[in-house]
Structure 1
Amino acid sequence: MKLILFNKPFDVMCQFSEHPSRATLADYIKIPKVYPAGRLDADSEGLILLTDDGKLQHKISHPDWKENKTYLVQVEGAVSSEQLEKLQAPLNLGDFITLPCKAFEITEPDWIWERHPPIRQRANIPTSWLCIILSEGKNRQVRRMTSAVGLPTLRLIRSGIGDYSLASHPILPGELIELKV
């Protein structure tokens, strides 16, 4: 059984099939018969787990197992305690209400790589970093949550899934490691 940790670069599609205008996992991963356990949108970076084992893939990606997913989020603006409280409580996003989560302000981790292209920044508006830990993972959920509390996401990095993290397995964007499980 194979378990691959891959650091998905910005603007890469989380699929192996060809895309008309963007790079895909196939451009980086040459290991046959492995499939992603979950997805990240093209605008997001960070940890993707891939495996050749269907049961493990299901356990990692299915909401019933509630594998925590940790995101480092650079947002536009200064973060208030009220915004953090709203992020942590169930938050109505219109089509669903989020489960409670952990959200706290952090300093930018020193192991984070530069993004290419760099994020857009406005000189007169500060940016802040958050750590958000979810037990669910709906489409564009973190971006929608930060926007709903008045903190637009500038950069989103998934740094951990369950027991696996980029902090403990430091790999740069486009790199992978294979673990024995």
Structure 2
Amino acid sequence: MLIAFNKPYGVLCQFTDRSAPPRPTLAGFGLPPGVYPAGRLDHDSEGLLLLTDDGALAHRLTDPRHKQPKTYWVQVEGEPGAAALQALRQGVALNDGPTRPADVRRIEPPELWPRDPPVRFRKTVPDAWLELVLREGRNRQVRRMTAAVGLPTLRLVRVAIGPHGLDGLQPGRWRKT
């Protein structure tokens, strides 16, 4: 079984949380029993999370050797210039080594659901949206890559993993795929 879930902002990619006070987890969304996340999304990221009860499928979806592209829409602070975009395309040097090259392009602000809490708006600081496609998955990689080229991430939404996309799925909702 494969489940596509639109993870809301502020939800942990696990079913339990032992912190005090406890934070929202996947347990609150009525997911079928026996499924677990194939990969992760940070607490402060939103969008597509795949869950499965099939360990081999989870491995194929998450192992970098299978190079499943992961597509993100990223709202960044600042104006992305040609040099910053080219650096992302070539791969960025991070403290844990260089990243693989990414596909990146500037996009118009996408039609998305409101985020709670909303992204802080500042009249004096421009922002822009990028579509970024990665074929690896390091901890907080998109945020670290955009910061490395001088474009801090304001909002991060994963919209696809390989052939699986959100396709209109609203936050907190899921479907079998």
Show structure 2 runs of 5+ residues with no match: none
Whole-Å separation in 1 of the counterparts to 2:76 and 2:141: 14
Q: Which stretches in structure 1 are left out of the alignment for 5+ residues? A: none
Q: Aligned Cα RMSD in Å? A: 0.9
What is the CA–CA distance in structure 1 between the aligned matches of 2:94 and 2:139, rounded to whole Å? Answer: 12
The residue that corresponds to 2:115 in the other structure is 115
Q: 2:122 and 2:151 mapped to 1: Cα distance?
A: 14
Which stretches of structure 1, 4 residues or longer, exceed 2 Å deviation after superposition? 18-21
1:1-181 correspondence runs (5 A): 2-20=1-19, 21-110=22-111, 112-166=112-166, 169-179=167-177
**Deviation string for 1:104-159 (max 9, x for gaps)?**
1000122x111111011221011100000000010000000000000000000000
Cα distance in 1 for partners of 2:161, 2:40 equals 12
Per the normalisation by structure 2, the TM-score is 0.96
User: What is the alpha-carbon distance in structure 1 between the residues aligned to residue 11 and residue 17 of structure 2?
Assistant: 11
Return the alpha-carbon distance in structure 1 between the equivalents of residues 42 and 147 of structure 2.
Answer: 17
The aligned amino acid for 2:68 is E
Letter in 2 for 1:67: Q
Q: Secondary structure at the match of 1:74?
A: strand
Which amino acid in the other structure matches residue 156 of structure 2? L
Matched-pair identity in %: 51
One-letter amino acid matched to 1:107: E
Equivalent position amino acid for 2:94 in 1: L
Distance (whole Å) between structure 2 residues aligned to residue 58 and residue 161 of structure 1:
13
What's the CA shift string for 1:41-99, capped at 9, x where partnerless?
Answer: 10000000001111101100111111000000000111111110011112101212100
Task: Quote the offset at 1:19 in angstroms.
Answer: 4.1
Partner Cα separation in structure 2 for residue 147 and residue 119 of structure 1: 17
* Secondary structure of residue in 2 paired with 1:47: strand
- SS of the residue corresponding to residue 56 of structure 1 reads helix
TM-score (norm 1): 0.94
Equivalent residue pairs, number:
175
2:4 aligned partner, one-letter code: L
Are the equivalent residues in 1 in contact too, given 2:31–2:174 (CA < 8 A)? no
